[in-house]
């Protein structure tokens, strides 16, 4: 990747990592979720761009059981749909995977937003977490023949199990007495290994064990995790104590599942938009992003969620024109800024900046 392309990608990274909702992704100035994953947007683009005309799977869905009505949150599916459409135009085969509680939020029959994208439902089992590995292996055995060219798996706002003493030891190596005490006092204690929401509530029985796809993938498959709160798949790439020090309830909820690249954003949808824009720039097809990620398209999708209750605001726990508790105008501003970066890249030749 050329240095001038990296300049545009770092602009996208800066935009997506604003934190108006004060999730705490950069609460500590020097050591935070953003500094620990600096340039991971670039790493993600390099990983996805290594092989063309291959299959990319996008996993999404964070179910809110106590919402009114119970539904997946609208942060995640919107970014997944945008990313899927852009990658499809760039020449990739796209598969979106979600469990049966979350699939409706990306179902083209209703959203009309995903032509030519395969949707796959992953079952939820009452045996999770004890039967998670076996359930995943059965599901994967039935799907492997369909995706012999699977190149990458991208998770957008998908919850994963929190840390345990074992996972912290694997992350740090031999754990010091100080770290052991810190984990005991600030960690999940009896909830270790469970899936927790931002309020530390155990939602394990509502979650499909899709994290096993990331744990058992082969070396030839590149993984990307996109999240904003520390409890999503991919956050296991960040040291436990960093999430504990920056995110409210971070020591309890921090997900232990790492990915090859971890994209941290103020809102997970923004990470999906940024990755879509970055891929379009890197492949010198900026129009792919400009065609598919517009204020009109995103507003129409959110309006459909709000009117049907198919997806809800994860903070307010109800269907309305907000995402992660933030007014829709905040999200539109981010979309405009990202579109401006892509448009600047598109027009760089006329400004004498040369070719990519």
The model's pTM is 0.93
Least confident of 176-180, 213-217, 302-306: 176-180
In whole angstroms, what is the distance from residue 243 CA to residue 238 CA?
Answer: 7
252-285 pLDDT, tens per residue? 999 999 999 999 999 999 999 999 999 999 999 9
Choose among 268, 308, 315: nearest CA to 83. Answer: 268
94-141 pLDDT, tens per residue? 999 999 899 999 986 655 667 778 888 887 765 555 666 676 777 777
H or E segment and range at residue 89: helix 77-89
Residue-level pLDDT at 146:
74
pLDDT band at 143 (very low <50, low <70, confident <90, very high): low
Residue-level pLDDT at 303:
96
In whole angstroms, what is the distance from residue 300 CA to residue 323 CA?
Answer: 14
149-198 pLDDT, tens per residue? 888 999 999 999 999 988 988 888 776 767 778 888 888 888 999 999 99
What average pLDDT is seen over the chain? Answer: 90
**Extents of the domains making up the chain:** 3-159+207-238+257-348
The CATH code of the domain at 3-159+207-238+257-348 is 3.90.1640.20
Contact indicator for 131, 204 with CB cutoff of 8 Å? no
Residue-level pLDDT at 354:
44
Give the count of beta carbons closer than 10 Å to the beta carbon of residue 156: 34
- Mean pLDDT of all residues in 319-332: 98
In whole angstroms, what is the distance from residue 184 CA to residue 38 CA?
Answer: 29
């Amino acid at each position: 990747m050329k240095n001038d392309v990296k300049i545009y990608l770092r602009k996208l990274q800066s935009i997506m990592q604003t934190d108006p909702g004060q999730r705490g992704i950069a609460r500590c100035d020097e050591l935070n979720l953003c500094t620990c994953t600096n340039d991971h947007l670039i790493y993600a683009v390099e990983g996805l761009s290594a092989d063309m005309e291959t299959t990319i799977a996008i996993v999404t869905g964070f179910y809110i059981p106590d919402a009114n009505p119970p539904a997946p949150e609208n942060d995640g599916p919107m970014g997944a749909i945008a990313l899927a459409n852009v990658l499809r135009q760039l020449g990739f085969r796209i598969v979106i995977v979600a469990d049966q509680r979350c699939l409706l939020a990306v179902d083209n029959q209703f959203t009309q937003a995903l032509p030519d994208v395969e949707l796959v439902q992953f079952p939820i089992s009452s045996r999770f977490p004890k039967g998670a590995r076996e359930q995943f292996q059965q599901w994967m055995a039935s799907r492997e023949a369909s995706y012999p060219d699977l190149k990458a798996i991208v998770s957008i706002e998908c919850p994963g199990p929190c840390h345990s003493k074992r996972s912290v030891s694997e992350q740090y190596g031999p754990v010091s007495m100080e770290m052991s005490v810190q984990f005991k006092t600030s960690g999940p204690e009896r909830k270790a290994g469970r899936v927790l929401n931002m309020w530390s509530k155990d939602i394990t029985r509502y979650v499909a064990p899709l994290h096993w796809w990331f744990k058992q993938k082969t070396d030839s498959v590149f993984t990307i995790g996109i999240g904003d709160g520390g409890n999503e798949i991919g956050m296991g790439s960040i040291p436990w104590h960093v999430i504990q020090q920056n995110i409210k309830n971070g020591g309890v909820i921090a997900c232990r599942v790492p990915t090859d690249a971890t994209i941290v954003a103020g809102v997970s949808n923004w990470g999906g938009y940024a990755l879509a824009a970055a891929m379009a720039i890197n492949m010198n097809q900026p129009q792919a992003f400009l065609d598919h990620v517009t204020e009109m398209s995103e507003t129409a999708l959110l309006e459909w969620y709000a009117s049907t209750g198919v997806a809800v605001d994860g903070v307010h726990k109800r269907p309305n024109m907000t995402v992660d508790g933030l007014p829709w105008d905040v999200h539109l501003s981010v979309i405009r800024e990202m579109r401006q970066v892509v448009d600047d890249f598109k027009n760089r030749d006329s400004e004498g900046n040369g070719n990519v």
